[in-house]
Amino acid sequence: MLDNILTILIFFPALAAMLGFVVEKGSIRAFGVSVATVEFVLSLALWYAYDPSVVGMQFMESMPLIPAFGINYLLGIDAISLFIIVLATFITLIGIATLGEVKNIKNMIITLLFLEMTMIGVFSALDAIVFYVFWELSLVPMLYLIGAWGGPKRIYASIKFFLYTFTGSLIMLVGMLFMAYFYYQATGAWSFSILEWYRLVLPENLQLWLFVAFFMGFAIKVPMFPFHTWLPYAHGQAPTIGSVILAAILLKMGTYAFVRFSLPMFPDAAVFFMIPIAIIAIIMIIYTAMVAYAQEDIKQVVAYSSVSHMGVIILGTFALNVEGITGSVFLMIAHGVVSGALFFLVGVIYDRRHTKMMSEFGGLAHVMPRYATIFGVMMMASVGLPLTINFIGEFLSLLGFYKQSHILTLLAGTAIIVGAIYMLTAYKKAFFGEVTNEKNKNLPDVNKREMFALIPLVIITIWLGIYPKPVLEPINNSVEAIVSLMNEKAITQEAKNRIPDPMAAKVSTPHGGTH
């Protein structure tokens, strides 16, 4: 079974979703949870079977699709994709399990299962075309989620989301086609295999153009400043589950793609664009944190904070050394857990009060102490307190980039200040003070169903904050492979200097220093 586990992981939820159409409405919830559970267990099996000591892709599957153009159904994962896949199945599971009362619940669960397929497809595809297909397919269920279950401006938000990201992806597709064409010119054979593309050393000039083409697709997805404005609308209108998945997984497609495509394929371009991108990342960090501080709607605070944290991820990615990239990949997971949890938490209060305006709340700590505690833990994780999952990622990302630029890291480091400002202010507004609003006097605290989603997230947040090794070590090994590939491929002297060879460092200072 392990030989085809990725295919099973991808298509099992899709098949189950189709089956879902004939399931009775009363039992669809149980059906959805069972499917998601099986899927989650499968992904855990994948983690269990994954061998962190092996360098390169594992669980590879290959089947020709269009042999004439070298398009194959090519799958495989390394640790970078592995943990995002596990996170995706996990978030989908708790998302479905904790769905509240929604209309057309059947359609929603089917949509979520389809979405799960596209997510896992993106993170396990090793063929550019397969990747692109899943990448675009993921838009459809999300469009439907926002458009069908969203708030009053849902149509505007969903169309904006779709068109904006779609435009970016088209430019990326052009880049992919050109890449394949260049591969054809260089080798005489067509290939869309990412692994084949890795081997190609492109002239610097070409790298720059292709980097920009791919960048457009990824940057809008992340979303990077100034392409981020679709996100507040999408989050503002999406139902809770939509926001959770969007923030936890879908945004990671962009950052993941940077690590999967941009870095190993265009190392010189990555060095060339490092500083401009770092500046964009810093703008994301500071500017969106300020915008978050100005918000009146607590969900918008979380939405903008999400963009701000993505800035740190981007910065870590473009540190171009093992510490930074490992940190940024870890932060992808961390951000998935923490911002996912925060959106869940916002959903909890929205379900009770049908408003997200902070001015409507105040003093919630009196009436909902458990809710306040869990929110507090997640807020502190979001702020990046040590021994929470976020700190590891942020610390390593910034540490890594410090090697490249001291002053830019200092600016980016303000993330820990501005983050504390908007988060603590929002928390104070919602939870502290006296209960002034009559409607809040008798709010029920977090119930069992919600606990089911929140407690595991809290546990992961603290567990991986204290003991990140099970995740950090495999990621580290995969990142080392990427960095040494980049170092090997780099043409310009500048790039050679900027990208250290992790293997060389290993020899001079053995792992762990003098211990």
User: What's the residue count for the chain?
Assistant: 515
* 459 makes contact with other proteins (CB under 8 A): no
Nearest CA to 262 among 318, 308, 191?
Answer: 318
Going by C-beta distance under 8 Å and a sequence separation of 6 or more, which residues neighbour residue 268? 204, 207, 490, 491, 492, 494, 495
DSSP state of 358: G
Would you give the binding string for other proteins spanning residues 281-320, x where CB under 8 A is met?
A: ------x--xx-xxx-------------------------
Bridge partner list, 58: 77
In the complex, minimum distance from the CB of residue 75 to other proteins, in angstroms, rounded to a whole number: 27
Q: Which two tokens stand for residue 294?
A: 């100005």
Residue 106 — left, alpha, or beta (φ > 0 → left; ψ -120 to 50 → alpha)? alpha
Pattern of binders to other proteins over 45-64, x per CB under 8 A? Answer: --------------------
Residue corresponding to tokens 């054979």: 189
Quick one: which H or E segment has residue 190? none
Tokens in use for 299? 């969900």
CA distance 357 to 439: 13
> CB-wise, 493 or 509, nearer to other proteins?
509
- Tell me the two tokens of residue 419: 């983050």
Q: How far is CA 13 from the centre of its chain?
A: 20
CB under 8 A: which stretch of 14-22, 55-63, 225-233, 353-361 binds other proteins? 225-233
Cβ at position 505, least distance to other proteins in Å: 5
Closer CB to other proteins, 112 or 315, in the complex: 315
Binding mask 355-374 for other proteins (x = CB under 8 A): --------x-xx--xx--x-
Q: Work out whether 466 is an interface residue with other proteins (CB under 8 A).
A: yes
Cβ proximity to other proteins: between 189 and 441 the closer is 441
Contact of 91 with 339, CB cutoff 8 Å: no
Q: Residues 378 to 417: which contact other proteins by CB under 8 A?
A: 380, 385-387, 392, 395-396, 398-400, 402-403, 406, 409-410, 413-414, 416-417
Q: Binding of other proteins at residue 457 (CB under 8 A)?
A: no
425 binds other proteins (CB under 8 A): yes
Q: Which of 213, 240, 222, 254 is nearest to 101 (CA)?
A: 240
Which of 442/509 has CB closer to other proteins?
Answer: 509
321 contributes a contact to other proteins by CB under 8 A = yes
Determine which residue in the list 24, 51, 434, 438 makes contact with other proteins, applying CB under 8 A.
434
# residues contacting other proteins (CB under 8 A)? 71
Identify the residue whose tokens are 């104070």: 428
List the interface residues with other proteins, window 334-353 (CB under 8 A).
none
Sheet strands (E) in 258-412: none
Q: Binding to other proteins (CB under 8 A): which residues in 161-220?
A: 163-164
